[in-house]
Chains A and B, each alone.
Chain A
Amino acid sequence: MTAPVGLGLIRFGLGLRPDSPLSVGPEALWHDLDRDEPPARIGRFATKLEREGVRVSIRRARSKAKRARAEPEMAGPTGMADFADQLRRVNRADMRDSLSDLRGDLARRIDAPIGFRQRLVDFWANHFAADSRPGRFRAARASYIEEAIRPHVAGSFATLLRAAALHPVMQNYLNQNRSVGPFSRVGRRTGRGLNENLARELLELHTLGVEGGYSQDDVTQMARLLTGITYDLDQGYKFDPRIAEPGLIEIFGKRYGGRPVMERHVHEALDDLAVHPGTAAHLVGKLARHFVADDPDPQLVAHMQAAYTSSGGDLRNVYRAMLEHPAAWTPTLGKTRAPLTWVAASLRATGIGAAQVLDMDDRQTRRDLMIPLQAMGQPHEAVPSPAGYDDRADAWITPQAVAARIDWAIGLADRLSTPPDPRAFVTAALGDLASPMLIRAARGAETRTEGVAMILAAPDFNRC
């Protein structure tokens, strides 16, 4: 099979660099999964947890002071401003980390020879969409992706599922930490009850999919089983038997749980869900739609599904099945690059080095990366909903987002000290995949700078 130059890097990777090999086929992509990556420059979740603890104690102290002032005889002159100051300091530290995370993330995208693994991380980070709402663990999404998703993208789905779906960031986002078994020790004493959010999304989004044939009763049973999974600000994730619902819980005809309830019962159910045929169909369809086409070849999907089933949900086998199938190598680029992928691809194509990104200060990072990414529709550290970003090709392509891409492309091209000749750049950036129209347009640009900006903003370079 002779794929056009650039196809492997554009469809499955992060785009061409001046030093990219001409051909990146299934084997090279496959080996990218085993490449040793340099240590991450991403903040640790433990730090976010600690800061959250600090914030909570500041707020507590503030309420106490407020109550004290409500009693006239205790009213003191101490201002609430002190507490506001302390909070601002913690929040600012999180903001600084967030900017540094963004630089570290982009630098790694520039450094990656191929970037297939990174694209998989992006896919799964969107599949397990979670952010800091409603107001816990500020700026923790990068560390969540780094610690709960990145290490597991090329292993068994069951491992990834456990790591991501039960992570404190996900628990907080979907209120699992508020769920209490009604017949647990705490439930009986306080009358608190189930919160079904995580259970529902676990079935609807993370595993079986909305077509997966589960009922409201399955959701409720899953929610009962998940009780006990929680976190606290001292140790992070934990299993707390005092809030876990006792007794046998039946999900899809199989019984889990018992007395006492244990964490491994939850793990057993997740492991079974991971190899459920509905999960296999949901995940491989989503993967094929993400990488290949909005409406992928059914044979490609079937091939991937067979690999999922025969390997018991080993993702590496699924990726191999995708990469080895001819339908994954159709030369038409049917998808669009997400903003972060497009920004990384632009930096790679123009030969900006990772060091240049790491050298940016916070103000530049905010102005040149964080705000533009938000304008393009992919704010750093946030997801639109538990379902993640819509993965259809046209979802990123709105007027405001396209304008933001054009604007950013102009800014990047302007800053190149020696902008390349657009006629050569069109090939350097797109290999064989530039359309004849773009090649003609590249010849017609007025200046090198405008030519480079136009190529980056053109539909061809925005596709993958």
Chain B
Amino acid sequence: MRHDPNRRAFLGQVAALGCSAAASPFLSPIAMASAPGENRLVVIVLRGALDGLDALRPIGDRHFAALRPSLSDGGTPLGDGFFALHPTLSGLTPLWQSGELAFVPATSTPYRDKRSHFDGQDLLEAGTPDDQPGVPSRDGWLNRALTLMPDVTARTAFALGRERMLILDGPAPMTQWTPGTELELGPQAKLLLEYLYAQDPLFAEAGLTALDMGTAQGMSAPARGPAGEVLARYLAEQMRGETRIASLSLSGFDTHQQQANRLRPALRNLETTLLTLRAEMGPLWARTTVLAMTEFGRTARENGTKGTDHGTGGMALLAGGALRGGRIIGGWPGLAEAALYDGRDLMPLSDVRAYAAWALRDMYGLRKSDLMRTVFPGLDMGDTPGLLL
């Protein structure tokens, strides 16, 4: 066979497919607020329920030290010194100082009382109210947000990792990929497969993307090193290209015992992810916002095994060059017995979905009514927290 596939022809076909995929029934002309544009949003799902009270320690709260006998030593005071960053996160202090980092210390999804990781993460990613407990969701809020944007192609949104990311799952096109997926294909076999996929409309886009990404030189080379660094470097590469919205998950936050030791690697991974992303995005960091959220917080009191158990109110973290950062957002409920949720957990003062909603509004011009109806059903966005500069 001497038929050299005409690469440009495939690309034309691929582009055409991308457009038709974007024309989903969810896209009405009215809903098209504005193009995805140049702004980049990264949503990090912190799986396992991050202990916000440990990551961002309210050392100025007079009840804190008593609640946390083994978990209150050290930390880097921020701003007025009411909060201190966990020692392992001290590498983030420069971002705080330059206004590229902010925290929401007491927030949560609408999920209450059951405290199951599975349901909690499901709800966090689905973005729905807690009205159908236990019903596995079928799509995620980031995907529903995509359905409101025009000119979305499969590369506009990117989910990192092999596991299903419910948050980006749904009718709008998106790409899921794991750095390090390499195809050991000879050049001739690659050409032949490209030719075969390109002929078949059902396989063209996915097949050619698979071959492209799986055999790209250098793309999957740095698959060594700390997980967060590998992910962030790879992600930055996508976001310097066509990708505007991305999601990844970090885990290891479920610290029921010996938290002082066991939380460290997970926090270091988070820190590395953020710092690598910032370094690798270069000038585009100014157009990037990172939102890290977790399924729920942990108990205010340390437990009998120097750890913490599943709680309610937790912390969300925002970072990015466009962020109006260097501040604590959303207030502090206090740790007095009477101020705790259920007498045990940090009281959430806000619905964490509101911050995601305002980020989507400020970055992509999505309308409040669409955000509160389609993306986050049942959410009251409240007043703007003025997230961005």
Binding site for B on A (CB under 8 A): 66, 69-70, 80, 133-135, 174-175, 178, 195, 197, 336, 374-375, 384-387, 393-394, 397-404, 406-407, 410, 435, 437-438, 440-441, 443-447, 450, 453-454, 457-460, 462-463
Contacts and interface: CB of A to CB of B under 8 A. Distances in A.
Contacts of B188: 444-446, 450
Contacts of B214: 403, 406-407
Nearest to A201: B135
Nearest to A411: B184
Q: Which of A134, A135, A406, A445 has the most chain B CB within a 10 Å cutoff?
A: A406
Contacts of A386: 135-136
A128 B276 CA distance: 44
A89 B133 CA distance: 31
Nearest to B192: A441
Contact of A197 (B119, B134, B176, B209): B134
Given A135-B116, A403-B213, A437-B195, A397 B138 contact: no
Nearest to B136: A385
A440 B3 contact: yes
A447 to B, nearest CB: 8
Given A385-B138, A387-B138, A459-B196, A400 B189 contact: no
Contacts of A458: 193, 196
Interface of B: 1-3, 116, 118-119, 132-138, 154, 162, 164, 175-178, 181, 183-186, 188-189, 192-193, 195-197, 199-200, 202-203, 205-207, 209-211, 213-214, 257, 303-305
A220 B183 CA distance: 52
B202 A406 contact: no
Given A386-B136, A444-B188, A454 B162 contact: no
Main SS of the interface on chain A? helix
A394 B205 CA distance: 11
Given A197-B134, A454-B189, A399 B213 contact: yes
Contacts of B209: 399, 402
Contacts of B213: 399, 403
B189 A450 contact: yes
8 contacts: A69-B304, A336-B202, A385-B136, A393-B202, A400-B176, A401-B206, A407-B181, A410-B184
A209 to B, nearest CB: 15
B299 to A, nearest CB: 13
Given A70-B304, A440-B1, A450-B186, A400 B177 contact: yes
A136 to B, nearest CB: 11
Given A403-B211, A459-B203, 9 more contacts: A80-B257, A384-B164, A401-B206, A406-B183, A407-B214, A435-B199, A446-B189, A450-B188, A454-B192
Contact of B134 (A66, A175, A374, A406): A175
Nearest to B178: A400
A463 B196 CA distance: 13
Contact of A459 (B154, B178, B207): B207
Sorted nearest first, the 4 A-B pairs with minimum C-beta distance are A444-B1, A403-B210, A399-B209, A459-B200
B278 to A, nearest CB: 27
Contacts of B207: 397, 399, 402, 459
Contacts of B1: 440-441, 443-444
Contacts of B193: 406, 454, 457-458
B210 A402 contact: yes
A384 B140 CA distance: 13
Contacts of A441: 1, 192, 195-196
